[in-house]
Structure 1
Amino acid sequence: MWPPTLTLELLLLGSLCFGAHVERMSYRPQNCTLECIRRGVPECEYCRITADDVQFSLSIPSNSPYGSCVPWPCHTFLGQETPEVCQHYVNAPRNINIEFEESEDPTNDAITVSWNPSQYGIAFLRGFQVTLQALGGSQVICQLFLLRNNLSLTPAHAQMVFHSDLFTHLSLDTEYVVTVLALPVPERWDQFYEKKKFFTRTCSEKNGLEECKKDWYPRYIEVHQENRDVLVTFNLAPENFEIRHYFSSCFGGGLRNYTNIKPDFSVNKTHHTYRLQNLQAGTNYTCEIAADVVDAVRKTFFVVQNNSEETLTSHFTESPSLIMLLLVGILLVATAVLTFTVVYKKRMKKKTAKTKLRPDIIEQYYDKKLDEGQCVLLDKNTRPPHLLICYSNNDGPFHVRVVLQLAAFLQKHMAAQVHLDLWESLSIMEEGMLAWHCRRMKECDFVLVICSRGLLQNQKNQCEDEEPVENTALATIAMIGEEMYHAKSLGQDLSKYMTAVFEYSQESDIPAVLGLASRYTLTKDLPLLFSHLHGVALQKPGVNLLVENISESGYSKLPAGAALQLAIQEATAFISDQQTEGEHVGIPIIS
């Protein structure tokens, strides 16, 4: 007989060895069929499932929405012979890691995803679905993996590492989100998946600085004429490129003008201005600018050298009195315009400093020509996206005012055609609230639900003497959720549906039935909302799209944005006071 101490040490050593063995277990996808998985063949332990295999085994037509990453119900694959395997809950995976892989394409990146299964419900785990989407993009790439039918895992296998297949053709320096979903899909829709955001590598990180220097070129060029010379301003390469010299070459009038450029980085590290001299008057020049490295990409721009100075001099000589009168008149007009602008801006500041906005503030913004930026027009011939905004007025008039100001801002500065019940009262009176929502949901390109605490009020809190229109609240939310899950089951794109919360609300205020919709926090995510509405990528290799009027810091510079900001501040103060006083809100109304 072994001593008890020795027996305990051997048991501990054995458990540690078993744990170390489990930690070393790593599964990579195998090529196998659904039939092989169903029969539980040992060689089909962890298998990739392709669209062709789904079509062949399940008789799903080739134009099925498999590529849209539908969370296929478990019984579709594994529950036909043994339905009980698909009646259990599996918790979300954990420890998602992104592994960058080598690829021969220098302009794109490639990754694989790895993760650990959760120990909760692991005995009923049947597989995983991995989806990848560029942030702000609509294209979704998905991969499906299944475990063999008779494989039984224990909580000790929670240290196993599962891997995805290779994701290729990913744009460099772009933010993506990867989602790993555990199968079978449970009835609870809050803890069965895990997601992670990441950036692909930059050109220099993937290919090295030497390979990326020649691919860089100035994208911002601004030209100003100063007497006979021309001032050219351009953006400098990133500091890690270590590019210290540039050159410019201009051709016009049969002559070539070459300029060496050596920026002073102690003055400005992002932009530099240089002077083009000895240009012929009245001559059009075609110029190129590039980094002074071998085989660098050149940026072309044009310079028109006019002879306005000579013309002005000749007129001055011939008619000095007329020129003097003209200059004095111009000076007086400029002074008057400047004075009017200063007075006007002071009045506008006083208006925006008020704690309350007049009811006709929207009409004021639309009827008067204010000194603010124009709408972002992607294409004059393109129909603007139609957006239906749904919300709850249960949080008080201040919250309704925020929604109203948001709708005005979206329509005026984000090139969207907004549909709001406050603007279509006549149609609602003719059709009824629920019928109007049904019609608008079908007609609009996007549906945005503004979520707040009032949206989560339970139906049991409703008063017995409430008006019939208030009964549309839960019905409307249920209708939107039903449309979303119906679209999901058919593999249709869910980008039509969005939810948003303001800073005085929380993500927990979003109803669970809307959990599959895209989520935004306003006004921080205004650029992402713009990207969603217009399908415009905010980031591409070497390019960052920045629209000043809709940035987090820039939107408030516009009158409509200032009104939105003030409304949010008032709503925040009002809701904070309500919470302090412990008052309870009534029933939600969706509009």
Structure 2
Amino acid sequence: MRRAPWVRCLLLALVQGFWAQSNAEATIFTPQDCNLDCIKQGGPACQYCRVTQDIQTALGFKSIGGCIPRPCSELLGKDDPHICQHFVQAPDDVKVEFLPDSNSQTDTVIISWRPSRFGIAFLRGFQVLLQALGGSTTDCQLLLFHRNVSLSASHAQRVYQSDPFSGLSLSTQYVVTVVALPIPERWEKFNHNKIFDTRSCAEKNGLDNCKEDWYPSDVSVQQNGTVITVTFNLAPPNLGIRSYFLLCSRMKKCIEITPNFERNQTHHSYQMKNLQEGANYTCEIAANEVDAVRKVFSFQVKHVDKEAERLHSGTSPLALLLPLCLVVFIMFGAVLAVLIIRSRQSIRMFINKADLFLPHKENWTQDEITSLSNNRQTPPRLLICYSSAEGLAHVKAVQQLAAFIQQHMATQVCLDLWNSLSLAEEGYMAWYCRQIRESDFVLVVCSESLNRRPVSQNPSPESDEEELYKGLDMGFSFHSTDTVIPLIGAEVGRARAQNRDLSKYIAAIFEYSQETDIPTELQLISHYILMRDLPLLFSHLHGVPLHRPGVSLNIKHISKEGFTEVAAGAALQRAIIDAGSAVGSKIWSKERPVITC
């Protein structure tokens, strides 16, 4: 019995010792300023060193973007060739932490990670690469241990940090890659990728300090008779927003609102008149700025009982006016009777000669609105394919086209940009094969880059810069549609050989492209030029004729001139104009002679 307290004290001491050791091992290591001699000889002042340009030059490494993406044989193999025959696994638990940044337009982050316990005895440092997703390299850091360092599996609990990465754009996706050094000759799992988003302006600086993110958050609607009053909060004075715009459904144009700031600096009320009673309205209100965030609200105009309103006004004025109105009515009736008697003969003559004044009536009927077929229980499913190699402006135009078709053409659109999770789960080709099989129609938006797809050739030796990005997992191929077009062309050829209907497949180009941009394998299917042939595309998707005797296709917003009357159509028109400008500048830059100095 006396041994029990002693045993408990001994166990408690052991646990405290292990706990203290665990905390010591979890120490955070930040990069140190080291010189070349310290790295080679070792010492407490250079256990974890940032590599500067001077050290890179002294070590004799060829630098690419501030880093040295070299395998083990070039980093350490000259001194000890056997050290490269080992396994070094990628770091674990990569985290991104945001740091305070005095610049309101940029963000600053610091990267931390833990080394893997596999191959940790051969670990000689880390390489941290930060890249804007879909863009060029932003920054790169090389961090090395000195030659005499000795790490064991217990050191895997250590946390290593990078130097801060500053000047990052707000609301932007980045990918950070942490590479374990030296890079082995025969292993692949030596890096770890992590995708993150920098903070938005509103998240970092507050909504009231961001002009592009601010929007009216407090909107109220009141009805007084047939007049609708919309009251909304104004932007803070420091943002410099002087006007706003209001856009509602059932209204053909946008309303610009300029508040009187001398009367009220926090809220403004605007009255909307001549609205349809009983109708539902969906409106958007925002600052009159480019790409401003919009506040959406809805309301219904209630019916007004005009008779009750008239009776509510009181009977006393009516009682006073009734005798006077009666006298006037009697006098007017007498005068009217005399005029009717005297002009009876003239009226008969006018009736007999009325045929002379009747306009000629041709045999035509007024245009009718063609209704869609009721045979289909669900809207048609449309898959849109395109080439992203044309540039971001062209991709945005395709995305706006998909949004317009989805909202205003009674069609369910399938776009790879909207189904990233399904693409990741199924794989690129499997996803496209399933969509082509399940879709009612397949629309290929053709462009110059899509028609001039690179032909697969024997792989050429990779450059140093390509080796740098080989470890990065940037998602699906930038020219992903290149492999889909031959698949669609094969389906078209098979359907043609079997005398099957080819209406499932459609080719289209925007007005800034050429008809020669349509690939040869798609020449057999229907071609449309957007937005000129928008009614033809609608007729194709729903199987309704454009014209027939006495009837023509007349659907609101489905025309070359009318599609811009809705918000989605206006956004599509802007995207097409921007894409046309981008493609034109691209062609000009290709034709421009290269001048070297």
TM-score, structure 2 as length reference: 0.45
Higher relative contact order (CA 8 A, sep 6+): 1
Q: Which has the larger radius of gyration?
A: 2
TM-score, structure 1 as length reference: 0.45
